[in-house]
Structure 1
Amino acid sequence: MGLYTKNGRPLQKSGSQVYTQSGKLVGRISGDKVHGPDGRYVGTIDGDRLVYRSTESASISSSVVGSSVAATAQAASVGSAVWGDEPNIPE
């Protein structure tokens, strides 16, 4: 199963790490949440979507040390109606 942002941008999962399609580290999965390399909340996984929920944005985790992974060619998906906003993930 692929992982996408709320608006359908494809992401990669490798173990408990999440990466952009180009291979840049987004963060680490902890339960249903993803925390960035600085430990700050990036988003919540809802099915196959990563969505930003302001009500959960106070969540902080330990920092993540990771390397990038190889880029992948994966088609974008259509947007989703799940509750939340598009996470702020720079490419």
Structure 2
Amino acid sequence: MYMKIHRYAGVGQIVAVCDTELLNTTLTDGNLTIHITEGFYGNTPCTPEEVKTAIQHASNCNLLGEKAVQAAIECGILKENGYMRIGTVPHAQIYRT
């Protein structure tokens, strides 16, 4: 997986994670198109443990891919059915207040 942590004053951390094979691709489902770029998701390879630690401390998360979404489910932040699919790719956004 690739991960990038965005830090914003007053908002906290936004953790963006995508499965390795998705970086620099485009997903389309009907009228929805998502460009999976290094600018947002980064290009730093991370282990599932590193991803779990980061998303447990994040204010918000943006997760794309089977492995990224599974990491959130495994650490109890996301329910088994708490995500959508863009085409066949799992996608979750998690917001904490």
Tell whether the structures are fold-level matches, with TM greater than 0.5. Answer: no
Look at both structures and tell me which one has the larger radius of gyration over its CA atoms: 2
More relative contact order in 1 or in 2 (CA 8 Å, sep 6+)? 1
Q: Name whichever structure is richer in helix by fraction.
A: 2
TM-score normalised by the chain length of structure 1: 0.28
